[in-house]
Structure 1
Amino acid sequence: MPNVMIRTNDAGDLLFYVAKKDLEETIAAVEVDTASAWGGTVELTDGSKWYIDPVRPRPEFPATLRFKRGD
């Protein structure tokens, strides 16, 4: 379960960065994205999926979170 840095770019998109894999992609979709929770299955623009149990309350970004690789 890698540590993933989530941050917002200038356009307001969320970026997903895994340092050990030198992977940086824009987040295309998040299963749960409300004021009270954020997470579940996260799909990136390259088509890959990652998973995190929903975080309550929704974190302020930038934040470092632990994700599992999804299928």
Structure 2
Amino acid sequence: MPKIMLRLDKEGNLICYVAKKDLEGKVVALEFNEDHRWGGRLQLEDGSALHIDPLPVRPSLPMEVRARRAE
């Protein structure tokens, strides 16, 4: 399970950085994006997908979390 860094860019887009692969890309889809539940499946612009355990509240960014490959 790699650690990923999530942050917002200047335009307000969610950006994901996977240090293990030196990969950075825009998140184009997020499974749960509500104030009371945030996370789940992240779809990146290159077509790859990761999964982070949903959080009970929307986090403040930037943040580092563990992720796994989504199917």
TM-score, with length taken from structure 1 = 0.94
Unaligned 5+ runs, structure 1: none
Partner residue in 1 for 2:6: 6
Give runs of aligned pairs for residues 38-57 of structure 1, distance below 5 A: 38-57=38-57
What RMSD in Å do the two structures reach over aligned CA positions? Answer: 0.8
| Structure 1 runs (4+) greater than 2 angstroms displaced | none
Unaligned 5+ runs, structure 2: none
Shift of 1:56: 1.3
Shift of 1:52: 1.2
**Matched residues, percent identical?**
44
User: Which residue identity is paired with 1:19?
Assistant: A
Partner residue in 1 for 2:70: 70
* Larger helix proportion of the pair: 2
Shift of 1:49: 0.7
User: Which residue identity is paired with 2:28?
Assistant: A
